[in-house]
């Protein structure tokens, strides 16, 4: 089978058997399309024609285009996943990416907002309007539960239990987790839903099961929520370029700074590997260290 057909088969495998999100699938598709284009330039069409030299030359070509180490590592990861698939399907006898050196990455720490900055952001929406109530509830739920953007915009009315105070989030790999919501977030969701119900009763538009509706009545996009966060960050006077994932970073960092244990934070975030969660201990340690330097007379 030709290499391009095998890439299509691999992406189908990721979509059907691995249940990856459309966003992740699109990223894999873009990265592997570059690998296919490079292979075609070399006149390679069959998988057994690939070797370490081809993979290394591809990575060097990516570096010449100005691609950073982190992006190059992501491209290599996509190629490695493809080769493992081809090995399993007996299309190749050896993995040409096995000995390819991984681009060296600097450790990039999360950039959380301070507790004061988070409060300003949460208070920025105008609660006198339905849209303001919705935005306030979205920001509150994201921060209170540490949700990913895709998890937030995918919530339905049935995913939030106001009586028990929990939200059911559909995370990576279609895995669900239950996360408690604080009283403030619950109050904000309740206020939004009450105003929305009143608006829907006076409208001819059909009710929707989506929790946080767009102005057109459907589900918000990830980009739509990005714009909402940026808009309210400007209103709150936050100088830095705030992005939605910073609310998740802030959730984890503030929990650890407040004394939560790492395993609990891992569970709440839905991380499969605790090493992913451990990065927040460095941020929390920096917070403690900076507080010591500011407050101790001999620091």
Residues labelled as active-site residues: 148, 172, 245, 248, 271, 280
Cβ within 8 Å of residue 77, ≥6 positions away: none
Where b means 16+ CB within 10 Å and e means fewer, 232-253 reads bbeebebeeebebebbbbbbbb
How is residue 45 annotated by DSSP? -
Q: Is the dihedral of CA 215, 220, 223, 229 positive or negative?
A: positive
CA distances from 284 to 97, 107, 112, 140 (A): 36, 15, 10, 21
Give the span between the Cα atoms of 48 and 181, in whole angstroms: 53
Strand partners, 168: 178
What is the CA angle 29-32-36, rounded to 5? 125
Q: Which of 131, 77, 73, 113 is nearest to 245 (CA)?
A: 113
Cα–Cα–Cα angle for 73, 76, 77, nearest 5°? 85
Using CA atoms, how far apart are residues 196 and 205, in angstroms rounded to an integer?
A: 12
Q: What is the b/e burial string over 199-210, where b = at least 16 CB atoms within 10 angstroms of the residue's CB?
A: eeeeeeeeeeeb
DSSP codes joined into one string, 189-223: HHHHHHHHHHHHHTSSSPP-SBSSB-TTSSBPPHH
Kindly give the interhelix angle for 22-41 and 3-16, rounded to the nearest 10 degrees.
170
What is the DSSP secondary structure assignment for residue 106, as one 8-state letter?
A: -
Q: Which helix (H) or strand (E) holds 163?
A: none
């Amino acid at each position: 089978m030709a290499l391009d057909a095998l890439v299509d088969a691999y992406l189908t495998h990721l979509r059907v058997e691995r249940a990856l999100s459309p966003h992740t699938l699109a990223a894999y598709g873009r990265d592997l399309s570059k690998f296919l284009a490079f292979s075609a330039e070399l006149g390679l069409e069959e998988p057994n024609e690939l070797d370490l030299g081809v993979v290394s030359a591809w990575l060097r070509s990516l570096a010449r285009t100005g691609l950073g180490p982190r992006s190059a590592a992501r491209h290599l990861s996509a190629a490695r996943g493809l080769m493992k698939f081809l090995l399993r399907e007996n299309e190749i006898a050896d993995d040409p990416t096995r000995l390819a050196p991984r681009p060296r990455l600097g450790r990039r720490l999360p950039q959380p907002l301070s507790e004061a900055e988070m409060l300003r952001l949460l208070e920025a929406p105008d609660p006198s309007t339905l849209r303001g109530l919705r935005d306030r509830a979205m920001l509150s739920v994201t921060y209170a539960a540490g949700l990913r953007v895709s998890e937030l915009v995918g919530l339905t009315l049935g995913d939030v239990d106001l009586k028990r105070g929990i939200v059911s989030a559909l995370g990576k790999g279609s895995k669900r987790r239950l996360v408690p919501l604080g009283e403030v977030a619950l109050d904000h969701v309740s206020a939004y839903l009450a105003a929305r119900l009143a608006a829907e009763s006076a409208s001819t538009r059909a009710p929707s099961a989506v929790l946080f509706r767009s102005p057109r009545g459907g589900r918000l996009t990830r980009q739509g929520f990005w714009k909402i966060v940026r808009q309210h960050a400007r209103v709150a006077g936050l100088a830095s370029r705030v992005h939605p994932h910073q609310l998740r970073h802030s959730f984890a960092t503030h929990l650890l700074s407040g004394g939560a244990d790492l395993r609990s934070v891992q569970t709440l975030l839905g991380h499969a590997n605790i090493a992913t969660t451990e990065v927040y201990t460095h941020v929390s340690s920096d917070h403690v260290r900076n507080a010591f330097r500011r407050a101790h007379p001999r620091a």
